[in-house]
Structure 1
Amino acid sequence: MQAVVLAAGKGTRLRPLTDAKPKVLVEVNDTPLIEDVFDNLLEIGATELIVVVGYKQEQIIERYGDAYEGVPITYAHQREQLGLAHAILQAQPHVDDDFILMLGDNVFRANLSDVVNRQREDRADAAFLVEQVPYEEATRYGVLDTNEYGEIVEVLEKPEDPPSNLVMTGIYTFTPAIFHACHLVQPSDRGEYELPDAIDLLLQSGRTIDAIRMDGWRVDVGYAEDRDRAEELLGTRSETTQQL
Structure 2
Amino acid sequence: MRAILLVAGLGTRLRPLTDDRPKCLVELEGRPMLDIQLDVLRGQGVEDIVLAAGYRAEALRGYGLPVCVNPRFAETNMVWTLLAAREALCGEVLLCYGDIVYSPAALRAVLDCPHDICVAVDLDWLDYWRQRGEDPLLDAETLRLEAGRIVEIGQKPKSVEEIEGQFVGLLKFSGAGVRTLNAVLDRAAASGVVAGRPLEKAYTTDLLTEIIAQGQALHPAFIRGQWVEVDTLADHGLEVTRRRVRAILKELGEDG
Which interval holds the TM-score relative to the shorter structure?
0.7 to 0.9
Percent identity between the two aligned chains: 22
Task: Call closer, same or farther: CA 1:204–1:49 in 2, change over 3 Å.
Answer: same
Residue in 2 that maps onto 1:208: 217
TM-score (norm 1): 0.82
Residue in 1 that maps onto 2:119: 128
Counterpart-to-counterpart distance in 1, 2:199 and 2:79: 13
Matched residue SS, 2:197: coil
Residue in 1 that maps onto 2:158: 161
Matched residue SS, 1:18: coil
Which structure 1 residue ranges, 5 or more long, are not aligned?
67-72
Residue in 2 that maps onto 1:8: 8
Matched residue SS, 1:52: strand
> Which of residues 223, 227, 230 is equivalent to 1:221?
230
Conserved? CA contact 1:129–1:172, under 8 Å: yes
Moved more, 93-102 or 23-32: 93-102
State the Cα deviation string for residues 185-204 of structure 1 (Å, max 9, x = none).
15638961111111111122
Counterpart-to-counterpart distance in 2, 1:16 and 1:221: 14
Matched residue SS, 1:112: helix
1:233 aligns with 2:244: yes
Counterpart-to-counterpart distance in 2, 1:93 and 1:27: 30
Counterpart-to-counterpart distance in 2, 1:190 and 1:100: 21
- Aligned positions, number: 229
1:99 aligns with 2:93: yes
TM-score (norm 2): 0.79
Task: Call closer, same or farther: CA 1:78–1:98 in 2, change over 3 Å.
Answer: same
Which structure 2 residue ranges, 5 or more long, are not aligned?
130-134, 189-193
Task: Call closer, same or farther: CA 1:56–1:210 in 2, change over 3 Å.
Answer: same
State the Cα deviation string for residues 127-180 of structure 1 (Å, max 9, x = none).
011014237435424431234x554222234x1525225211021112322133
Matched residue SS, 1:10: coil
Which structure: greater strand fraction?
1
Counterpart-to-counterpart distance in 2, 1:56 and 1:77: 10
Counterpart-to-counterpart distance in 2, 1:164 and 1:39: 31
> Which of residues 78, 81, 84 is equivalent to 1:87?
81
Following TM superposition, by how much is the alpha carbon of 1:239 offset from its aligned partner in structure 2, in angstroms?
A: 8.3
Could you tell me which amino acid in structure 2 is paired with residue 90 of structure 1?
A
Counterpart-to-counterpart distance in 2, 1:26 and 1:207: 36
Conserved? CA contact 1:156–1:197, under 8 Å: yes
Task: Call closer, same or farther: CA 1:138–1:117 in 2, change over 3 Å.
Answer: farther
Poorly superposed stretches of 4+, deviation over 6 Å: 236-242
Matched residue SS, 2:85: helix
Could you tell me which amino acid in structure 2 is paired with residue 197 of structure 1?
D
